[in-house]
Amino acid sequence: MNSEKNINKATQIEMNKKKQIILEWETALYTEYERGFWWYVIASAIAIATIVLSLIFGSKTFALVIFLISISYLILSKKEVPHVQAKITSLGVQFGDQFHKYTDIDYFWIEKHLPSFQSLHLSKSKSKIADIEIQFYDFTDKEIINTLQRFIPYHPDKHPSLIDHLVHILKL
């Protein structure tokens, strides 16, 4: 086991020596939406109505789940969004402590949230999660596209899914 860790560490050190940073920036770990007073009023009303209906229909467990999710969401929404380093390198894309090799990425696309920011989406078919979304502010989309196109295909016609649109519209 120790020799395996040493081999992995040696491989990682060798990769770091070969890895050249092409673009680098600091970004939020996830999208932070500004929610006003009325957003919280409406969200609370929906949660309370769902809890009341659940209790009326005898689903105490569902009512408890909605209550716990609501409280958790409220607590998490008050925390500051952590910021991480994003790097486009000669071997892959680093986002925080996760490194995604170009061989694992199928393609990329850009989502525009102008004027505030844009998002780089990395699509990995072997991944169990959705696209990896990395926000960028300091670069134009053309700079990102020109840099990444040397390594992976660009899909300009790709757009966010319906669920992604709803998350954005509802500020979840």
Q: For residue range 67-84, list pLDDT tens digits in order.
A: 999 999 888 888 888 899
- Residues 6 or more apart whose Cβ sits within 8 Å of residue 135: 27, 28, 31, 117, 118, 119, 120
Residue 10 has pLDDT above 60, yes or no: no
Q: 59, 66 in Cβ contact below 8 A?
A: no
DSSP letter string, 8-19: HHHHHHHHHHH-
Residue 70 token pair: 């609501």
* pLDDT given for residue 132 in this prediction: 87
DSSP three-state, residue 46: helix
Q: 167, 55 in Cβ contact below 8 A?
A: no
Long-range contacts of 154-157 (CB under 8 A, 24+ apart): 154/107, 154/108, 154/109, 155/107, 155/108, 155/109, 155/123, 156/109, 156/110
DSSP three-state, residue 162: helix
**Among the ranges given (39-48, 112-121, 150-159), the one the predictor scored with the smallest mean pLDDT:** 112-121
* pLDDT given for residue 15 in this prediction: 52
What is the C-alpha to C-alpha distance for residues 64 and 159, in angstroms, rounded to an integer?
Answer: 36
User: Edge-to-edge strand order for the sheet containing 98-101?
Assistant: 21-28, 83-89, 92-95, 98-101
What distance lies between CA 29 and its chain's CA centroid?
6
Mean of pLDDT values over 130-147 = 87
Mean of pLDDT values over 93-98 = 91
Confidence class of residue 18 from pLDDT cuts 50, 70 and 90? Answer: low
22: enclosing H helix or E strand: strand 21-28
What is the C-alpha to C-alpha distance for residues 143 and 113, in angstroms, rounded to an integer?
Answer: 16
